[in-house]
Amino acid sequence: MKKIFIACAAVATMIGSYSCTKLDVPVESQYVKSNFPVTDADYTALLGTIYSNLSSSYAVPYWRMQDMSTDEAILPARDGNFDDGGQYRQLHYHTWTFDHPNVIGVWQWGFGGINTCNRIISVINAGPSSAAKKASSIAEVKAMRALYLYFMMDLYGNVPIITDFPVTTQPSNQPRAQVYAFIESELKSVLPLLPAKSSNAATNVSQYGRPTKGMVFALLAKMYLNSGVYAGTTRYQETVAMCDSVQANTNYFLDAKYRDIFLPTNGPQINETIFAVPYDQQIPGNQFTRFGFFYYLANAYGFNVGLSIAMSTTPEFYNRFNIPGDDRTKTWLAGPQYYPDGNGGFTNQPVYYPAPNADKQINIIPTLTLTGLKPMDLGNDVLTSQSEGVRSIKYYPDVNIIQATRLNSNDVPVFRLADVYLMKAEAILRGAAPTTVNGEVQTPLTLVNKLRARAHAQLASSIDLDGLLDERARELSWEAWRRNDLIRYGLFEKEYPLPVMGGKTDDLKMNTDPTRRLYPIPSTELKTNPNLKQNPGY
């Protein structure tokens, strides 16, 4: 029931049946402007396409652009397998072009979502509902439009601002600072009309995965923290204010177990989730197990489907998981492997490779060693190269995964309270004044130690900006914020080369040009819209 709102009813239901050879019949529908949308069910059906579009690409193509362009995730080839035209190494080495499949697909996904929002606003405005119902529904749609536009601004920079439906003139790019100001204005305008998270469980189920006041506060905090990147001016005290606005609602609080936040059974019962993208076997888009799990562990985890062997993290990123007792370290598969205990942990029963290596325990090696024979390729030996690369099980493998779809039911958080704590801590370290929330003076150290205490990690005795970036890596790994963080820290161009076997060279170098902080305007858009101008460096 946690995802019932995503069910998309057909807005235009055809009545009667006709021969497929009779093409000149009048189209009839029970829904017309005079009676749609009116009921809550009508609005659920109407708005459903906003959310189904969001889930369709958030956890794979969008996630890849945010995390596989960093040290956090890498998908190397294995003797040519999984190369897929070089698209993953282009993300890793920052050598993507304006016809990269993710560059094109994510632009179309984001602006497709914006276009859907604009269409729905036009339907609501033309419908028979009361002014109050229209206003509250349009506020929800505008909040989602602002979120889509934020994703596009963050990735592509100078993007169009489109609010009309239908679009009668081809849009042109707007300066990034102007897009930033528009998003901020939109969010502030809808804030009074959005619901707040409630202490009522049923209410939270109906609100789950939809914009709330908390989502707006969290998104504004993210924008203000990155304001120097987006608009050229820093707004750290306003970052703190937005983080405090989230915390003012005491229905947000840290869950007792870090692992619970990301299980296949997660949902509105997770107390710290501010906004998440819901997934299940009927909501496609989450395939973390397909791409990031270790194939030879599938039977041990209770399923038998075809999976990739390739995606992992880099040794440099995994090395940050070095705090004694830290539960967050258990979200990675590294070293000798054991059967899971069903609760996110492990038993003492070893898991072995298949024949002819059935006498050897599976051992996942953190290092990644390039052969130098093919671009960003590790080779394909089962015991060595296939077993290289620490795999993430943060989105814990779903036992209901099936071969036909290979989908996970884990909802993917976009904003959660832990990120709010870390954003506030960083803003204070960068110059904002600490504030008191619910009677507690919150300093960067107290905020970081809240998260460490929850994860049973050794508490920090001090924290600086470098340490905070590492803490964000530990807490928010694979949550699509790493690129955003590295750009803000000025580290997105830092090279993290892989070792090369036998002195051979890979002949690939990381592009360290700062223009790579933005993705290019896709080739498909430039061809069809002469009013768009390409970003610098492409």
d(CA 361, CA 335): 10
Query: Phi/psi of residue 495, each to 5°?
Result: -75, 145
Q: How far apart are CA 295 and CA 455, in angstroms?
A: 28
Q: What is the DSSP-derived secondary structure letter of residue 85?
A: G
pTM of the model: 0.93
SS3 109: helix
Tokens standing for residue 110: 């984001």
pLDDT by 10s per residue, the chain, length 538? 344 444 443 333 333 333 344 455 555 555 566 667 888 888 889 999 999 999 999 999 999 999 999 999 999 999 999 999 999 999 999 999 999 999 999 999 999 999 999 999 999 999 988 999 999 999 999 999 999 999 999 999 999 999 999 999 999 999 999 999 999 999 999 999 999 999 999 999 999 999 999 999 999 999 999 999 999 999 999 999 999 999 999 999 999 999 999 999 999 999 999 999 999 988 999 999 999 999 999 999 999 898 888 899 999 999 999 999 999 999 999 999 999 987 778 999 999 999 999 999 999 999 999 988 899 999 999 999 999 999 999 999 998 899 989 999 999 999 999 999 999 999 999 999 999 998 999 999 999 999 999 999 999 999 999 999 999 999 999 999 999 999 999 999 998 777 776 666 667 889 999 999 999 999 999 999 999 999 999 9
Question: Which domains occur in the chain, in start order?
Answer: 35-193+335-389+513-537 (1.25.40.390), 197-276+400-492 (1.25.40.10)
Is residue 43 within 8 Å of 81, Cβ to Cβ? no
> In which residue are the tokens 């051979």 written?
504
Q: Which two tokens stand for residue 20?
A: 């497929």
| CA distance to 156, 366, 437, 438, per residue, from 434 (Å) | 33, 39, 10, 13
Q: Which two tokens stand for residue 178?
A: 């102007």
